[in-house]
Structure 1
Amino acid sequence: MEHLINKNLSTIQISGIRQFFNMVSQYDDVISLTIGQPDFLTPAHVKEAAIRAVEENKTTYTHNAGIIELRKAISSHVKNKYQLTYNAEQEIIVTVGASQALDISLRTIIQPGDEVILPGPVYPGYEPLIKLAGAVPVYADTRENDFKLSAEVIKQKINKNTKALIIPYPSNPTGISLSREELKEIGKVVKEHNLFIIADEIYSELVYDREHVSIASFDDLRPHTIVINGVSKSHAMTGFRIGYLLAPAWLAKHILKVHQYNVSCAASISQYAALEAIKNGENDPEEMKTAYKERRDYVVKRLKQMDLEFITPEGAFYVFPKIPLNGKNTFDRAVQILEEAGVALVPGDAFSKHGEGYMRLSYAYSLSTLEKGLNRLEQFLK
């Protein structure tokens, strides 16, 4: 009966990141630099808040949009941190991770036949959600623009079917971010063609050399924009599955309908943990950011010593070097490095065809692990 299922699923595969990660587990003595999972523990005060919520029997359904205390905390946080003004009651929805926020946003704004522009290479989680919403993903090749999605690159992909633009920054897999001026130029194109923006800013707390600027902070772009964020990366809370989205009230009320019938609400215990993280853990990401920056600088130094081509990441915890393929495709070359060097990097074609020839290295690992992995990689390349 397989022919009877949703036809959109026929072109969707399990994430290339996960496919390769699962392969790695079959090998012994491997240094894996593959997964974007913070290697820090969830802060103790956050875990204690989750335990208290259980003990106080806060285990029932919540408001569909999330407990009001959490939405108010998010409202204050984005105001203080990113100069964003969103009403807690009407413009903030607490979601099951940033992934669900992306899904319900796309299903709200997309109709069959619409096109959604996204940068290539890019995190592989966007394309399936676009297709499941009935739209067509359109990749804008950013390789000749230092992996940055620019106004000029976007213009080349716009047509009468273009409905939305996904801007993930800092980016997975490249670590590239966007400046205020670059966002402003993109905004001009968005307004000219009356497009939606989905701004995935889940790594906003991990920008190293300057402040993160949200595209929704431009008053004229706020009506076009859905901001996606959460606590997974900032507070090492990936398993709690709490994200949130910010959108104008007229749009948020429609997104809430999809959210309501999709999950009812995010897990109550996780919401109380997130409340503690955002309200009383504003400085928690600083320790992590300092460590990631130190690791980034170490990895950049080592890759330069190997004469590899790459763009220095500005945020997140990834770098995307170009690896000599020696006549192989990227996936087979990654397998060869895995088998012969005992180090695992994610093949770049997992991030669209525009990642061919590159590999993603995650530095969400200790310096000692990074040193061992890079020693092996350097020896292999020699």
Structure 2
Amino acid sequence: MELRSQGATVHQFEGGEPFMTTPEPIKQAMKSALDENKTRYAPSSGIPELRKVIAEKLRTKNRIPAQDSDVIVLNGGMQGLFGAFQSTVNPGDEVLLFSPYWTPIKDLVAHCQAKFVLVPTDEAREFGFEQTLSRYSTERTKVIYYNTPQNPSGVVFTRDEARSVAQFAQDRDLVVIADEAYEDLIYDGEHFSIASLDGMYERTITSFTLSKSYSMTGWRLGYAVAPEPWITGLKKTTLYSSNGVSTPTQWAGLAAMQLDDSILESNVAEYRRRRDVLWAGLNELGLTCEKPAGAFYAFPDVTRINGDSREAAEILLNRAKVSAVPGIVFGTHGEGHLRFSFSTPMETIEAGLDSLRRNL
């Protein structure tokens, strides 16, 4: 902010939201809802029309055996995650998080007066998920937080990896909180919902958001799916906090869920193009990282610049006017890395890489 206030051009890679605008049919649906006076209280779990469409999407696309009554419409994915942890975690419990992880999760766990335990994703992929989870689990373990595609690394868990996590959860009688915010942003492999596996629906709460798929970050609209008893917990946390989601916003959400898949496919193509340019450029500079399979972040190793990721971020900002997020904010396993978002104009990516080449 200080550099920009001084008139400097800063190449910004720190963002975490889509670069494109909300599709017009969604905005038109919101306007129509207002014109038609669809502005009264809605059921706190969501309007029936939207819940029905969501349940159908879950059954056909995610292979999750959801009924309308298992769906709740929420104020973004965060409300779903908050309700999920509040509904499953008690003081003194432990929650396993694959690490590096999305920063707010540790605070959601702490708000339950519980303890988060970091499970290195790299270790799990190298030595096996069940073996690694066993190493970090105790008799106090209650929940596994399962995020795919992952923020910040772009890792997409495979079907076999999901099966391994599911087997561990069933063997230990654990609950899984699945965060699938980036489900539609897949470039390599496939998105696979862990709740679709046999024996997992009854022990999984899955949280979704329309923010990333439909460029609706500011609309604050998401949903979660779970059977009893978990859905009652989600309903209570929603009822006694926001008492539901803005009614016109839900009609806009219905329009989003009914959009042609070609819109999502076009967005993914644009993200893939940006990913490939950023990934190639960072590796050319010696800031090595695996090609992200999903989400819209690259997470390169920057230890050749400085082993302290906060220092590395400062160096990039001061020398090259490039801003990125220090990896340490995503947990100890993120240290030595920076998170670069490629959800930004191609001109920003090209100019930022050029500045890095000239100034590092």
State the TM bucket, normalised to the shorter chain.
over 0.9
In the alignment, the residues of structure 2 paired with residue 216 and residue 281 of structure 1 have an alpha-carbon distance, to the nearest angstrom, of 25
Alignment CA distance shift 1:228-1:303 (3 Å): same
* Superposed CA offset, 1:291-337 (max 9, x none): 00111111222122223221211111001000135556211221121
1:138-183 Cα offsets, whole Å, 9 max, x none, are 1112344569993332221110110101011100000001111111
The 5 Å alignment of 1:86-125 reads 86-88=66-68, 90-125=69-104
* 1:83 equivalent in structure 2: 63
Paired with 2:319 and 2:282, the residues of 1 have a C-alpha distance of 19
Between the aligned partners of 2:4 and 2:177, the Cα distance in structure 1 is 34
Give the equivalent residue in structure 1 for 2:52.
Answer: 72
Aligned-partner Cα distance in 2 for 1:224–1:240: 30
Which one-letter code corresponds to 2:103 in the other structure?
P
Please say if 1:189 is aligned against 2:187. Answer: no
User: Contact 1:96/1:266 (CA < 8 Å) preserved in 2?
Assistant: yes
Structure 2 partner of 1:45: 25
Q: Distance in 2 between matches of 1:96 and 1:264?
A: 10
Tell me the alpha carbon deviations over residues 239-260 of structure 1, each in whole angstroms, 9 at most, x when there is no partner: 1101100101332122211211
2:13 aligned with 1:33: yes
Give the letter aligned to residue 178 of structure 1. Answer: F
Tell me how far 1:103 sits from its aligned partner.
0.3
Checking the alignment, whether the CA contact within 8 Å between 1:196 and 1:225 is kept in structure 2 is yes
Answer yes or no: is 1:374 the counterpart of 2:353. yes
1:239 equivalent to 2:211? Answer: no
**Which deviations, in whole Å up to 9, do the C-alpha atoms of 1:269-289 show, x marking residues without a partner?**
211111000023443221111
Matches of 1:146 and 1:83, distance apart in 2? 25
CA distance in 2, matches of 1:150, 1:23: 44
Partner of 1:312: 291
Moved more, 131-140 or 169-178: 131-140
| Contact kept in structure 1, 2:97 and 2:116, CA below 8 Å | yes
Residue 56 of structure 1 deviates from its aligned partner by: 1.0
Residues 1:56 and 2:36 are matched in the alignment: yes
In structure 1, the residue matched to 2:143 is 164
Q: Which residue of 2 aligns with 1:293?
A: 272
Q: Which residue of 2 aligns with 1:12?
A: none
Equivalent residue runs for 1:141-152 within 5 Å: 141-144=120-123, 150-152=129-131
Provide the rounded CA distance (Å) in 2 between the counterparts of 1:68 and 1:172.
32
Deviation larger for 320-329 or 135-144: 320-329
**What is the distance in 2 between the residues matched to 1:148 and 1:290?**
33
* Other structure's SS at 2:229 match: helix
Shift of 1:368: 1.4
- The answer to whether the 8 Å contact 2:307/2:336 transfers is no
TM-score (normalised: structure 1): 0.90
Q: Does 1:332 align with 2:311?
A: yes
State which of 240, 247, 254 in structure 1 corresponds to 2:233. Answer: 254
Structure 2 SS opposite 1:249: coil
Deviations 1:317-373 (A, max 9, x none): 001000135556211221121111100011101101211100000000121110111
Q: Judging changes above 3 Å, is the alpha-carbon distance between structure 1 residues 112 and 276 closer, same or farther for their aligned structure 2 residues?
A: same
Gaps of 5+ in 2: none
- Structure 1: tracts of 5 or more residues without a match: 1-21
Output the TM-score relative to the length of structure 2: 0.95
- Aligned to 1:137, the other structure's residue is in SS state strand
Q: Is the CA contact 1:64–1:260 (under 8 Å) kept in the aligned structure 2?
A: yes
Secondary structure of the residue that 1:263 maps to in structure 2?
A: coil
Is structure 2 residue 341 aligned with structure 1 residue 362? yes
Check 1:32–1:149 CA distance in 2 against 1; reply closer, same or farther (3 A cut).
farther
Residue aligned with 2:101, SS: coil
Aligned residues: 359
Partner-residue secondary structure (3-state), 2:72: strand
- Cα–Cα, structure 1 residues 25 and 57, in superposed 2: closer, same or farther, change >3 Å? farther
Map 1:216-227 → 2, pairs under 5 A:
216-227=195-206
Residues in 2 aligned to 1:320 and 1:224: alpha-carbon distance in whole angstroms: 31
Equivalent residue number for residue 179 of structure 1: 158
Matching residue within 274, 293, 303 for 2:253: 274
